[in-house]
């Protein structure tokens, strides 16, 4: 019998370890496996698996993915007769390889449009655009993408419809058309409406009206995605709960699709603050450039614990909880609403280490529900 060096076996086994074959210690996705999917948004670099450490963290902790930017219309449909599916293909392949729930973000959104789309002038052109755009993209990933944000951020804060190139050219019917086109292209995929501040009363009522209208007009809508870009002290747990109950009463799934919690001051909260004033390099507005003090770490951990406790209470209504990014270093909140700050909104720090907030989300499951 040929002798095989045990060291060689150990090394090759280590090299062969992939996402799906990792020997798991406990992780978010395992701890919450009977409750809802635990997702993350992936940057282009993460989709391309450029950093092995990030890649392995993604695989260990999450079982659902959303592309943070690359499926938005300016990237996927840059010119009228040109689609670019290169990164979207990699994103879907990444999810399939790792047996993850794959969410598509987003088909119809007024922002990050390709310049040519902004110039669509009338209803005929817009109808043709929507048919081509939605049908082409949804058909391309039919049976491979599990759910889509069909329409993103169509509402103003008072619950009325936001002015956009879609509303301006087609009127309200663009909403129903979008859901009908998506359902025709893939009848089995779950179709979501996705927006932020959905815990505010006026916007909540706007979403309820919108979903009812789509359903009444024969559109298929399966879920509401609350983006959940939240703060340490708002929205209140009571308002979040009211929304979960109100949305699920419509007979649709509820997902939290872009969860993060800012710990930094907001220029709009400052009395008399001029939002046009230059806040960059202002120490007051960027109080923790090096590290987050324990007192704030604790507040963040408590806030996440309270939120996940509520999610567990309503796990029968919640399909997915997705964080908007893997770690603090990649968060959009480092650059918004003020560029170049250091924010700490997620469960992993910029060095990929779990924070107190991670432990608190894990520990909630150890407490009897």
- Measure the N-to-C terminal CA separation of the chain; round to a whole number of Å: 55
Decide if residue 258 touches ligand G3I (CB under 6 A).
yes
Applying the rule CB under 6 A, the residues between 71 and 110 that interact with ligand G3I are none
Which residue among the candidates 125, 258, 363, 369 is catalytic per the annotation? 258
Which residue number, 257 or 319, has a Cβ lying nearer to ligand G3I?
257
Residue 118 bears catalytic tag: no
Q: Residues binding ligand G3I: what is the number (CB under 6 A)?
A: 7
Binding mask 277-316 for ligand G3I (x = CB under 6 A): ----------------------------------------
CB 75 within 8 A of CB 87: yes
Q: Nearest approach, Cβ of 227 to ligand G3I (angstroms)? A: 5
| 14-20 contacts, C-beta under 8 A, 24 or more apart | 18/59, 18/97, 19/55, 19/56, 19/58, 19/59, 19/97, 19/98, 20/59, 20/97, 20/98, 20/99
CB 317 within 8 A of CB 254: yes
Q: Closer CB to ligand G3I, residue 83 or residue 332?
A: 332
Binding mask 310-339 for ligand G3I (x = CB under 6 A): ----------------------x-------
Residue 199 makes contact with ligand G3I by CB under 6 A: no
Decide: helix, strand or coil at residue 331: coil
Does position 111 interact with ligand G3I (CB under 6 A)? The reply is: yes
- Cα–Cα separations (whole angstroms), residue 303 to 40, 85, 116, 257, 310: 19, 38, 43, 17, 11
Task: Determine the Cα–Cα distance for residues 95 and 100; give it in Å rounded to an integer.
Answer: 5
In this complex, which beta carbon is closest to ligand G3I, that of residue 61 or of residue 258? 258
Residue number, 110 or 215, with CB nearest to ligand G3I? 110
Residues 6+ apart with CB under 8 A from 15: none
Q: How far apart are CA 335 and CA 318, in angstroms?
A: 30
Query: How many CB atoms lie under 10 A from the CB of residue 292?
Result: 20
Chain position whose Cβ is nearest to ligand G3I: 332
Q: Closest approach of Cβ 64 to ligand G3I, in Å?
A: 16
Does residue 211 sit in helix, strand or coil? helix
| Min separation Cβ 200 and ligand G3I, Å | 16
- Minimum Å distance from CB 91 to ligand G3I? 14
To the nearest whole angstrom, how small is the minimum distance from the Cβ of residue 319 to ligand G3I?
Answer: 18
CB of 26 or CB of 111, closer to ligand G3I: 111
Nearer to ligand G3I, 41 or 134 (CB): 41
Q: Per rule CB under 6 A, is residue 68 in the interface with ligand G3I? A: yes
- Yes or no: say if 31 and 365 are a contact pair by the CB < 8 Å rule: yes
Which DSSP state fits 329? Answer: G
Nearest to 365 by CA among 68, 91, 103, 27: 27
The distance from CA 114 to its chain's CA centroid, rounded to whole angstroms, is 21
As measured in angstroms, the least distance from the Cβ of 281 to ligand G3I is 17
29 or 103: CB nearest ligand G3I? 103
The structure tokens 């002290």 sit at 233
The SS3 assignment for 78 reads coil
Give least dist CB 344 to ligand G3I, A. Answer: 16
Among 30, 35, 51, 69, the residue binding ligand G3I under the rule CB under 6 A is 69
Catalytic residues: 258
Q: Which residues in this chain contact ligand G3I in the complex, by CB under 6 A? A: 68-69, 111-112, 227, 258, 332
């Amino acid at each position: 019998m040929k002798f095989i060096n045990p060291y060689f076996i150990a090394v090759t086994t280590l090299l062969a370890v992939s996402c799906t074959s990792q020997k798991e210690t406990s992780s978010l996705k395992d701890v919450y496996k009977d409750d809802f999917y635990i997702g993350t948004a992936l940057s282009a670099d993460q989709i391309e698996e450029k950093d092995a450490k990030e890649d392995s963290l993604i695989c260990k902790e999450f079982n659902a993915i959303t592309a943070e930017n690359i499926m938005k219309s300016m990237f996927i449909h840059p010119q009228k007769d040109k689609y670019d599916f290169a990164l979207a293909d990699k994103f879907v392949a990444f999810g399939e390889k790792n047996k993850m729930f794959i969410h598509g973000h987003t088909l119809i959104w007024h922002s990050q449009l390709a310049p040519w789309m902004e110039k669509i002038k009338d209803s005929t052109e817009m109808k043709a655009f929507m048919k081509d755009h939605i049908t082409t993209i949804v058909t391309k990933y039919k049976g491979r993408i599990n759910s889509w944000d069909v329409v993103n951020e169509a509402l103003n804060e008072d619950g009325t419809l936001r002015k956009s190139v879609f509303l301006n050219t087609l009127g309200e019917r663009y909403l129903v058309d979008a859901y009908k086109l998506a359902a025709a292209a893939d009848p089995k995929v779950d179709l979501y409406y996705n927006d932020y501040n959905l815990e505010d009363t006026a916007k909540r009522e706007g979403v309820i009206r919108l979903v009812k209208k789509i359903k009444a007009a024969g559109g298929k809508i399966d879920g509401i995605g609350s983006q959940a870009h939240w703060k340490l002290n708002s929205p209140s747990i009571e308002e979040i709960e009211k929304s979960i109950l109100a949305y699920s009463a419509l007979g649709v799934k509820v997902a939290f699709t872009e969860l993060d919690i800012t710990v930094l001051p907001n220029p709009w909260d400052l009395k008399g603050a001029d939002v046009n004033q230059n806040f960059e390099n202002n120490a007051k507005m960027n109080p923790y450039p090096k590290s987050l003090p324990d007192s704030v770490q604790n507040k963040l951990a408590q806030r996440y614990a309270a939120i996940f406790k509520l999610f567990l209470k309503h796990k029968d209504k919640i399909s997915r909880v997705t964080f908007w990014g893997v770690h603090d270093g990649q968060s959009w909140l480092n650059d918004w609403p003020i560029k170049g700050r250091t924010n700490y909104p997620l469960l992993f720090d910029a060095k990929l280490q779990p924070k107190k907030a991670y432990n608190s989300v894990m520990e909630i499951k150890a407490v009897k529900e």
